[in-house]
Amino acid sequence: MTHSSLPTVYVVGDSTVCSFPAAGYQPKFGYGTRLSRYLAQGVAVKNLALSGRSSKSFLTEPQYAELCRSLSSGDYLVIGFGHNDEKREEERYTNANLPYTCADTSLGLSFAYNLYANYITLARDRGATPILCTPIVRLSESDDYSGVCGHITASAGGYEGGDYPAAIRRLGRDAGVTVIDLTRASMERYLRLGHASAARFHAYAATSGGRPVGLDGTHLNSFGAAWTAYDWACLLAESDCPLKNFLASPLLPPADEEYALAADPSYVEPVYRPFDAAAAAGLHFKLPAPLYGSVMGDFGGAEHVGEFEIYDRGDDIVVGNMSTVPRGKISSSADGFAAAFIRLPADANFRASAVCTVLGVGEEADGQSAFGMMLRDDIYADEYFPALASNYVAAGSGGTFCRLNGKLCGCSPFAAAAGDTFTLSIERINQQIRARVNDRSQSWYDFDLAAVDAQSDYLCLFAARHVLVRFSGIKFELTGKSVRA
């Protein structure tokens, strides 16, 4: 297809839209990087989207200033926000319940008003055509997109929840703007395929033993980005937006063979280094022997270690994270947490117990917040490892739960408040590991705690993501050498 005058398609949005530097086994790709695949040859795509931004915070970026300078008559503006507008943070939050005519900010900046005043009006004033996109869903392990995975949030911490895709649809109808409903398209595709197959659209941070680990339920890989761009193009073709006249023909979905291309051919699997005294010397937090303190896993980067707390207070240990931006998580895909831990021989029987008291729960505590006692296979010395998903059993705020072969099993939703207390214990008796929270216990038999570190196990007092706890009455006793029946 040829055209005498080809437009430029400008794209703004968040991490589901933007470009990323190559990193990890299957690097992240925003769908904005794949739109040109479905546009006629010669149509330029200028992707200004930025990771972590909302429609509000993007206004302060140089990329928004560039948009204001460059957008001109005949161009198109693709607007893809929503993932971060729902975040309960002053710099990013916008309210999905308020109409596009509401400039009052007493209940938070109106999501619709901000999109209309600062993006749609900008485009129209320049003679360009705006196109609204609803956000792609977050991958749901239970195939449930009725809540946060579908960008429908609850009120909490002084911020109103809302339905962000519905707000965009309503704005498009009221302001006469084309809406490309990627929420519905991605949800229908994921439900049709089921979680296991839909996971192929999402990035994996790493491999372990050659197996992909660290599934990112928010961000796409190149295969998923291409599929989302295909959905976008098909929906555009069904609209009355004149950009459809610049679509490539025919529109063909990505072939299954393209999935293999999502893996970075230069990726090298990390090598685990068992914890030793040399590693202990470099730790940020110091605890009395035989305890050590470390922050590990997916917590945003090694530069954020100091945003956690790990310290002894007499006979007690305090662990947690109450930083302005919440850090760490216990999630379906990966873990990140602070811990006071002790190293154990892998063949040691033992019993350990403590009382855990909640000192504080931050406004950003959510379904990825957790604390308790954990017996795990490996330990990392203040190391950022976004694919941390190795084996452990735990007793804490999620009840008694475990992660086995990368899968988080039995962890209940976070529900704790300041002042709550939990009596925790973990005991190994030969091939049995028994964990207890208050009066509820669970046992595992022949549980694999040697897949990564065959020589040692690690007993941790841990906390993750906007919760601070104190462990008191800590008791630990080695009770012999485990034997196989």
Domain check: are 188 and 321 in the same one? no
Residue with tokens 């050498």: 481
What CA–CA distance (Å, rounded) separates 22 from 265?
11
pLDDT tens per residue across span 364-421: 888 899 999 999 999 999 999 888 989 999 999 999 999 998 889 999 989 999 999 9
Domain check: are 292 and 254 in the same one? no
Give the domain-ending residue among 262, 295, 317.
Answer: 262
Domain check: are 84 and 193 in the same one? yes
The three-state secondary structure class of 132 is strand
Integer Rg of the chain from CA: 25
* Cα end-to-end distance, the chain, whole Å: 73
What CA–CA distance (Å, rounded) separates 80 from 13?
4
Structural domains of the chain, count: 2
The three-state secondary structure class of 19 is coil
Domain check: are 230 and 171 in the same one? yes
What CA–CA distance (Å, rounded) separates 155 from 104?
19
Annotate 321-359 with b (16+ C-beta within 10 A) or e (fewer). Answer: bbbeebbbbbbbbbbbbbbbbbbbeeeebbebbbebbbb
**DSSP label of 30:** -
Inside any domain, residue 268: no
Q: What angle do CA 433, 468, 318 make, to 5 degrees?
A: 70
Mean pLDDT score, 150-171: 94
pLDDT of residue 271: 84
Residue with tokens 């980067």: 301
Domain check: are 282 and 139 in the same one? no
Residue with tokens 């319940």: 97
What CA–CA distance (Å, rounded) separates 167 from 226?
26
pLDDT of residue 484: 57
What CA–CA distance (Å, rounded) separates 113 from 100?
4
CATH number at residue 475: 2.60.120.560
Domain check: are 198 and 300 in the same one? no
203 alpha carbon, distance to own chain's centre? 11
Side chain identity at residue 480, one-letter code = G
Domain check: are 254 and 392 in the same one? no
Residue with tokens 């609204």: 132
pLDDT tens per residue across span 166-179: 999 999 999 999 99
Cis amide bond preceding 62, omega within 30: no
Enclosing domain of residue 337: 277-481
Inside any domain, residue 212: yes
Contacts of 310 (CB under 8 A, 6+ apart): 285, 287, 293, 294, 295, 317, 318, 319, 338, 339, 340
Give the domain-ending residue among 200, 230, 262.
Answer: 262
Domain check: are 223 and 302 in the same one? no
Which H or E run contains 309? strand 308-313
CATH number at residue 99: 3.40.50.1110
Domain check: are 238 and 358 in the same one? no
pLDDT tens per residue across span 24-57: 899 999 999 999 999 999 999 999 999 989 999 9
pLDDT tens per residue across span 60-118: 999 999 999 999 999 999 999 999 999 888 899 999 999 999 999 999 999 999 999 99
